[in-house]
Amino acid sequence: MSNVTPFPAPNGQQQGQVGFDRLELQRIMDLYGRMVAAGHWRDYTMDLGREAAIFSAFRRSAERPEYRIEKRPALRNRQGMWTLVGEAGHVLKRGQELQGILAPVERKLMRIVED
């Protein structure tokens, strides 16, 4: 009676969810904080699923996200597991490292601060 048997994963899929590690989340939240301080972003969401971890940044919470930062480990050996997606849903940048993916957003932040 005290034995607990977990349900098997359907079709041999891995169980669990994809997430951001501490350094990745620190880097993303640092950028988010600077964009909030500049008055450009006001809200964010995180979606941690089985296939991807997604961080979305919003100008206003009632709109579509201005940027989505996606981590998809299944694409690690192909296109790179990091993707920067724009407001219209277009892929702006893909790569192996988070720093390279955040570079276009950081350049935009520098233009905001200069104005």
Q: Which amino acid is at 98?
A: L
Distance CA 38, CA 88 (A): 23
Q: Which amino acid is at 113?
A: V
pLDDT tens track, the chain, 115 positions: 678 776 666 665 556 888 899 999 999 999 999 999 988 899 999 999 999 999 999 988 777 889 999 999 888 888 889 999 988 889 999 999 999 999 988 888 776 656 5
Distance CA 113, CA 50 (A): 37
Percentage helix, strand, coil for the chain under 3-state DSSP, each rounded to 5? 35, 25, 45
The reported pTM is 0.78
